[in-house]
Structure 1
Amino acid sequence: MSSSTRVGYQNGPNKGALSLLTCYGDGDSSDDDVPGPRVSTKRTHKGDEDICNKRLSKLPVPDVLKNNKTTPDEYISDPSQHGGRIRTFAHERGNWATYVFIPFKECEGIMELLSVIKDAIPSNIEVKQIDEFHISLTKTVILKHHWIDSFIDSLRKKTFQSKKFMILFNDLKIYCNEERTRTFIGMSIKTGHDSLVKLVEIMNECLGDFNLPHFYEDPSFHMSICWCVGDYEEELNSIISQVNHRFHEMMDFYSQDNWYIYVSFLTCKTGNKYFKFHLT
C-alpha cells in the first residue's frame, strides 16, 4: 500500500534500528578482535571461540526490546480517533475497506438543514456531520490489496454502458446500521430508484466475483447528513416530523440544485484511494 497513510503503528523500524545501534555502539568489541589477514577465518582456535562466546554473553538486552510491548506492525484501534465509531471488522494489514457510492457536493441548503437538525435534537444526543455526503451502492467490504486492480477493472467494464440519471430528494428519515452502533439522519429519495437498483445489481455481480457480500436485498436508498454513536432511532423519530416541516419550507426557499444529484459518475473508495467511473 504505497500510497496509504499508516496510523496507529508504534515503534517503527527506523526508530527501532537507531535504538539498537545506540545500545550496542559502546560494546566491548573492537577492530583488534577481528583475525588479521594471515589468520584463516575458516578455522578458528577453540580458545578464540570461548573468548568470543564470553563477550557475546555479556552483551546487554537493548532497552528498545525490553520496553517493546507491541510488535512493530501491531494496530491499536482507538474509537476516539474515529469520532467514537466502532470497527465492525478487525484491522489487518493488507486489508482495504472498500465501498462504491454516488458523491454529493456540500451546498448551502444542506448545511442550513444540518443546523436545523442540530437545533431540534435533544441535548443528550451528540450528532456529527457526515464526512462525505453520498448515496451508497455497496456495503463497506474488505478488499485484499492484490485484488484492487482486478476489482476496479471489473467495475469499469460493467458500468461503462450505464446511463446518467437524476435523483431528487424527499423527506428526512432515521436509519440505523446493522450492528445498531450508530444512528443516522438522512434524506430519502423521490426519483431515481430504478436506476439505483440497476447499479446495485451491477455492483453485486462485481462483489460476487470476489466472494464479497452483496448490498441489502431491499435497499432504502438515502443520503445521510449526520450521525451519532448508539441506537437513538426511537428518540430521533419523535422529532423528525417537526424537522421535516422546516425542511419542506427550505426546499421552497433554496434553489432546486440543493436538493438533487445529476449522477454522471460513480466513485469507489478503497483505503485512501479514489476511483471514478463515468456513466454514458
Structure 2
Amino acid sequence: MALVQYSESESESETESPQRLVKRPRQTSNQPSSLPPLPAAFHDLYASSTRVSVRDDPSLHGGRKRVIPHVEGNWPTHLYLEWYPSKAELSILRDVIDQINDRLDDSTTQLHSLLHSDLGAQLPLHISLSRPVVLRTEQRQPFLEDFQSALRESSIPAFDVTTQSLDCVSNYEKTRWFYVLRADKPEADSLNRLLRLSNRSLARFGQPPLYESSQDVAAVLKSKSPAQPQGSRGTGQTGSDYSHCFHVSLAWSLTGPSSEERERIVSIDLQKVRGLSIRFDCVKVKIGNNVSSIPLLEGTRGLST
C-alpha cells in the first residue's frame, strides 16, 4: 500500500480529541441503548474541545503540532461532511482499529482512535471538503453567504456514500499518519461537485483548494464573466475526478507504519466495512468555534451533472 499525500483538512483539526489505544479484550456485547439519539443540531453546539492553553503545546494534544497558529482576527475554517456512526457501525469501526493495532503490536507506533475522546464521549467522523484555512473577521459572514448561495444554486441532493478500502496516508508536513477508509464515488458525483463548490468559494477569499491545483481553480473563476447574472456563478459541475482522495479517518499516529506493517494491514478483514452506507444530508461549515449546517436538497432532484 503506497503512501499518498494526505490533505491538510485533518492534519491539525481542533475538533479531534486523541485517544491512545490500550490493548484490551474485544467487546462482544451489542445491547441496544435505551436512550434516544441526540438531535443533530446538538452536536454543532459542542463541536470544539475546551482550550486548555493559549499557546501551542504538543504535550496537550498527543504530540501534535499546530499548523495554523492562534492569531487575533484569524478564524480557522473547515468545510466537511459529518458522520455520527450508530452503535452497530461503531462496533464495526472499533474492530477495524483493533485489527490495525494488532498488526502494530511489535512496533513503536502508538495508535490514537478518533472514535471517542479521552473521556469516552463519541466523536464525529467526517469527509473533508476543504483544507484547514483561515478567514479574517470581516470575511466570515461574506464567505458563509457566498457558499450558501453556491450550494443552493447547485441543487445537489442528499446522498449516500459507501466505503471500499483501508489506507494509511500522511499529512502534507508528514508529522502525522492517518488510517482511513476510502470512499466510493457516490451517485451523481456529489463529492466532486461539493469539492468544486468549496474550492471556488474559498478561492474568492484568497484561500487554497483541497486536492485541486490553485491554477485550475483560478482558471475556472477567471473564465466566468463578471457580467453573468446572479444565480449563474458557475458552480463547477464538470472537472477532474478526485474520487480516489475522499476518505474517513479512523485513527492516527505520529510515526508511519513500516513496510512490513503495511503488508500486514492489507490483510485486514473489511467485509463488514464494505457494507456500510453513510447518509449525508448537509454540509458543515466551521468558522472558529461556530458551526453552520447547510442542508442539501431532499429527494432525487439535482441528479444531473
TM-score, length-normalised on structure 2?
A: 0.61
**CA, structure 1 residues 112+232, in 2 after alignment: closer, same or farther (shift >3 Å)?**
closer
Q: Are the counterparts in 1 of residues 93 and 273 from structure 2 also a CA contact under 8 Å?
A: no
Q: Are the counterparts in 1 of residues 151 and 197 from structure 2 also a CA contact under 8 Å?
A: yes
SS at match of 1:84: coil
1:197 paired residue among 165, 176, 192: 192
**Structure 1: how far apart are the matches of 2:258 and 2:287?**
29
What are the superposed Cα offsets for residues 19-76 of structure 1, whole Å, 9 maximum, x if unpaired? xxxxxxxxxxxxxxxxxxxxxxxxxxxxxxxxxxxxxxxxxxxxxxxxxxxxxxxx42
**Structure 2: how far apart are the matches of 1:251 and 1:278?**
27
Could you tell me which amino acid in structure 1 is paired with residue 265 of structure 2? I
Q: Return 5+ residue gaps in structure 1 as ranges.
A: 9-74
Higher relative contact order (CA 8 A, sep 6+): 2
TM-score, length-normalised on structure 1?
A: 0.67
**Structure 2: how far apart are the matches of 1:94 and 1:108?**
41
Equivalent residue for 1:84? 63
Counterparts of 1:218-233 in structure 2 under 5 Å? Answer: 218=242, 220-232=245-257
2:130 paired residue among 121, 138, 160: 138
Q: Are the counterparts in 1 of residues 161 and 183 from structure 2 also a CA contact under 8 Å?
A: yes
Count of residue pairs brought into register by the alignment: 204
Tell me the CA shift for residue 200 of structure 1.
Answer: 0.7
Tell me the CA shift for residue 235 of structure 1.
Answer: 5.5
Q: Are the counterparts in 2 of residues 99 and 140 from structure 1 also a CA contact under 8 Å?
A: yes
* Higher helix fraction (1 or 2): 1
Quote the sequence identity (%): 27
Could you tell me which amino acid in structure 2 is paired with residue 223 of structure 1? V
Could you tell me which amino acid in structure 2 is paired with residue 139 of structure 1? R
**Structure 2: how far apart are the matches of 1:165 and 1:84?**
36
Q: Are the counterparts in 2 of residues 186 and 225 from structure 1 also a CA contact under 8 Å?
A: yes
Could you tell me which amino acid in structure 1 is paired with residue 254 of structure 2? V
Could you tell me which amino acid in structure 1 is paired with residue 124 of structure 2? E
Q: Are the counterparts in 2 of residues 169 and 191 from structure 1 also a CA contact under 8 Å?
A: no
**CA, structure 1 residues 93+157, in 2 after alignment: closer, same or farther (shift >3 Å)?**
same
**CA, structure 1 residues 180+234, in 2 after alignment: closer, same or farther (shift >3 Å)?**
farther
Q: Are the counterparts in 2 of residues 181 and 231 from structure 1 also a CA contact under 8 Å?
A: no
SS at match of 1:191: coil
When the two chains are superposed, the root-mean-square deviation of aligned CA atoms in Å is: 2.3
Counterparts of 1:55-66 in structure 2 under 5 Å? Answer: none
Q: Which has the larger radius of gyration?
A: 1
Q: Return 5+ residue gaps in structure 2 as ranges.
A: 1-45, 115-122, 213-241, 298-305
Could you tell me which amino acid in structure 2 is paired with residue 230 of structure 1? T
**Structure 2: how far apart are the matches of 1:211 and 1:234?**
39
Tell me the CA shift for residue 91 of structure 1.
Answer: 2.1
**Structure 2: how far apart are the matches of 1:214 and 1:185?**
23
**Structure 1: how far apart are the matches of 2:279 and 2:192?**
16
Asked if residue 102 in structure 1 is aligned to residue 81 in structure 2, the reply is: yes
Asked if residue 241 in structure 1 is aligned to residue 293 in structure 2, the reply is: no
